[in-house]
Amino acid sequence: MARKLLIAMVVPAVVLALGWVAARPALQVATGYTAKQLCSGLKVSRLPEELLWQQDVLPRMAMMGPLRELLRAGVRVSDSGVSSRLLGVESRAYFESGAGCTLHGEPQPLPGEMSGNRLVAVTGPAGDGELGPVLDQAFAGPVGRNTLAVLVMHRGVLVAERYRSPVTMMTRLQGWSMNKSLMATWIGMQVDRAALSLEAGVAAALSRQGRDDLAAAVDANLNLGHLLHMESGLDFEETYAPGDDATRMLYRSPAAWATAPATGQAYAPGQQFSYSSGDTNLAALIWLQSLKGDDYRAWLYREMSQPLELFMVAEADASGVQVASSYTYMSGRDWLRIGQLWLNAWHGRSALLSQAWQRAAVTPRSSSADGGYGRGFWLNTDGVSFSDLPPSLFYASGNSGQAVVVLPRQELVVVRLGLTANGVDSGLEDLLEGVVATIAPGATTDTAAMEKAHAIE
């Protein structure tokens, strides 16, 4: 009898324990996402906590159902960061002024030379200009669109700008995967200076980092160029369910750059396009090594923020490497300045980035069957992204409907930022068509002949 009673007690306990172990990755992702997004949202973007819960955290955690209330109850906010606890699993994001928030480790204080880092407004009139009806449509739309900011620059002048309260022109908003286009640019700046090469080997970089185990897991021919073109051949899967590569990288790992090489090679480098945040975070490690010990934030301050007069918070993982897939924050006006940099570089009139680099970055690769991706940028080759807009258009794109769109021949830069829910149309295509129709009528298509005539001006 006693034995049967013991079995009756032990078996449910074992089953419960095994269930908790199986659920642990999902709990780590939930608490990691909550801590990180609330920390940066509150302390970098300075948005209201309720807005962050209703338009960011709770919608992303929809699969958790009623556990979301327990998740919310387990959050603690302090001056030093945000912790999130659920069913015995806890994640913490640590905050450092100017450096932003880091999950699972404290960020390093900013170098002293960055004490003057500040926001500077773009020259030009604020308001809707002649784009009022277009902006009305961009800020309307279905439930969950949540447009927060739209800005339009034409020929270097800010011609339209609108925000949804409480966002203002000073609010630093997350770019998510627009950071990938930034990383491609930062690498381009180093390549232009002969401080880095696209031929730089990945295995050698991993060995320099003391990770010979990861170096042995990747193809000996894998290089930085493959990473920027998303043709690494690594077995990283860009899916966001608990336990998947992307969520493990962002919310469970102290070193985002280590996740992709740990998956090993699925096929040879250079053969196939496969969108991968893991590739970009691995590229960030190689870029960091090219700085020869310089603090990357100081480098960004000197080489980009000061010349462009902008304020950037580019957050690191716990290993000190910038999370280049996801975690840069700037105001709408500063994202606009970045777009103008890309436009100027495309035309060969930037002192920071060469025309050769930017033109190559927006040239489609044969590995991308539809011509929709270049070197860190999404493209509109043959109208693949926006059928009624010029094929020379290129853009940075991020989760939640973030976009910096450049129409180089029309001298247009359009920024759209928001907290758009999964599965909801951000309205970007209608916004772009409205802007072009209003400011550059007749330019909704570039003919193939025009493209050839103006190639590499």
Q: pLDDT per residue over 423-439, tens digit each? A: 999 999 999 999 999 99
Q: Is the pLDDT of residue 313 over 70?
A: yes
Q: For 27-61, what is the HEC assignment? A: HHHHHHHHHHHHHHHHHCCCCCHHHHHHHHHHHHC
Q: What is the mean pLDDT of residues 451-457?
A: 40
- For residues 33 and 59, what is the distance between their CA atoms, to the nearest angstrom? 12
Q: Which residue has the higher pLDDT, 112 or 398?
A: 398
How many CB atoms are located within 10 Å of the residue 47 CB? 22
Residue among 2, 324, 39 nearest 186 (CA): 324
Q: Which residues have C-beta within 8 Å of that of residue 168, sequence separation ≥ 6? A: none
Percentage, residues of the chain above pLDDT 70: 89
- pLDDT for 447 equals 41
- For residues 294 and 298, what is the distance between their CA atoms, to the nearest angstrom? 7
Q: What is the mean pLDDT of the chain?
A: 91
Q: Is the pLDDT of residue 384 over 50?
A: yes
Binned at pLDDT 50, 70 and 90, residue 111 comes out as confident
DSSP run (H or E) holding 77: strand 75-78
DSSP run (H or E) holding 414: strand 412-418
- pLDDT for 243 equals 81
- pLDDT for 113 equals 67
- pLDDT for 453 equals 38
* Residue 312, phi then psi, degrees to nearest 5: -130, 135
Per the CB < 8 A criterion, the answer to whether 150 and 129 are in contact is no
- pLDDT for 119 equals 46
Report the SS3 class of residue 353. Answer: coil
Binned at pLDDT 50, 70 and 90, residue 239 comes out as confident
Q: Which residue has the higher pLDDT, 17 or 163?
A: 163
pLDDT digits (tens, 9 = 90+) for 151-189: 999 999 999 999 999 999 999 999 999 999 999 999 999
Residue among 278, 422, 412 nearest 346 (CA): 412
Q: Is the pLDDT of residue 364 over 50?
A: yes
**pTM value?**
0.92
Q: Is the pLDDT of residue 32 over 80?
A: yes
Binned at pLDDT 50, 70 and 90, residue 112 comes out as confident
pLDDT digits (tens, 9 = 90+) for 242-277: 889 999 999 999 999 999 999 999 999 999 999 999
Angle at 251 between CA 84 and CA 262, to 5 degrees: 155
Residue among 393, 395, 373 nearest 383 (CA): 393
187: tokens are 């690498």
Count, in order, helices (H) and strands (E) of the chain. 18, 13
DSSP output for 220-277? TT-BHHHHHTT---B------STTSHHHHHHHT-S-GGGHHHHT-BSS-TTS-----H
- pLDDT for 14 equals 32
Q: Which residues have C-beta within 8 Å of that of residue 294, sequence separation ≥ 6? A: none
- pLDDT for 369 equals 87
Binned at pLDDT 50, 70 and 90, residue 2 comes out as low
Q: Which residue has the higher pLDDT, 240 or 396?
A: 396
| Residue appearing with tokens 């909801």 | 424
Taken in order 189, 191, 195, 201, is the CA torsion positive or negative?
A: positive
